[in-house]
Amino acid sequence: MGNCPSVYLHCELCDVSMALPNRQPPMFYSDETSQLCAPIPSCLGFCDVCQRLISVEDFSTPVATLRQQLWALEQQQHRLTQQVWSRLKLRFWPASQRQYAELSQQIAATELLLRVRQMPERQPRCLSCGSTAFIGYPEYPYRDSCFLAATPETLRHSCGELWQARYSDFSCHIRTTPYYFSLSGDKLL
């Protein structure tokens, strides 16, 4: 998962401080009927209900881009299948079997993300409380459960003042239990 230094934010105008959630537990969409799971694309956001910076669903990738990614993965899988079956070496090439399985998982995850995005009336939610009342910052994404931005330079407090960032070398590496969400965005137990 890599090293994620702790980041503390301070608003000088309001004299408010908070820790930036630089790490989050693994979060997945889960389709109970087909038993498929897909990682939730998330970014940093300020939730009006939680009153803190927290991870929120990131719907900034256009549906057309997701369709293109799906098509490219399917074409890659088709080429691999043609290559392997033309030589009848699928049984003898464990690397090809592993690559085929990874492509199949990526295709299933992308299809699940497309299903979520194409649901009518579906809006991104806070991943803590489920609220749709938040300000998302898609320029600050999470990847592999780690906050990627080195310096949050454009984050503004609700008063309009820029947050002042302070970094700490201390970083917690705690193994967390993954969270699963339904396609409608509700947290599953």
**Is residue 145 scored above 80 in pLDDT?**
no
Query: Does residue 1 form part of some domain?
Result: no
Residue 37: CA atoms inside 13 Å, Cβ hemisphere, count? 9
Q: Are residues 55 and 19 in the same domain?
A: yes
**Which one has a higher pLDDT value, 177 or 116?**
116
- The band of 73, judged by pLDDT with boundaries at 50, 70 and 90, is very high
Q: Are residues 55 and 141 in the same domain?
A: yes
Residues 6+ away with beta carbon under 8 Å from 95: none
Q: Are residues 86 and 101 in the same domain?
A: yes
Q: Can you give the pLDDT at residue 128?
A: 85
**Which one has a higher pLDDT value, 165 or 43?**
43
Average pLDDT over residues 66-79: 92
Write out the two tokens for 83: 């290559």
**Is residue 71 scored above 90 in pLDDT?**
yes
Query: Does residue 122 form part of some domain?
Result: no
Query: Does residue 139 form part of some domain?
Result: yes
Which domain range does residue 106 map to? 64-114
Closest CA to 179 of 33, 36, 30, 52: 30
**Is residue 177 scored above 60 in pLDDT?**
yes
Highest mean pLDDT among 50-54, 149-153, 163-167: 50-54
**Is residue 69 scored above 60 in pLDDT?**
yes
**Cβ neighbourhood burial of 181 (10 Å; 0-12, 13-18, 19+):** buried
**Is residue 154 scored above 70 in pLDDT?**
no
**Is residue 2 scored above 50 in pLDDT?**
no
Query: Does residue 48 form part of some domain?
Result: yes
Average pLDDT over residues 66-81: 91
Query: Does residue 119 form part of some domain?
Result: no
**Is residue 94 scored above 80 in pLDDT?**
no
Query: Does residue 144 form part of some domain?
Result: yes
Average pLDDT over residues 40-50: 83
- The band of 137, judged by pLDDT with boundaries at 50, 70 and 90, is confident
Lowest-confidence range among 25-34, 99-108, 141-150?
141-150
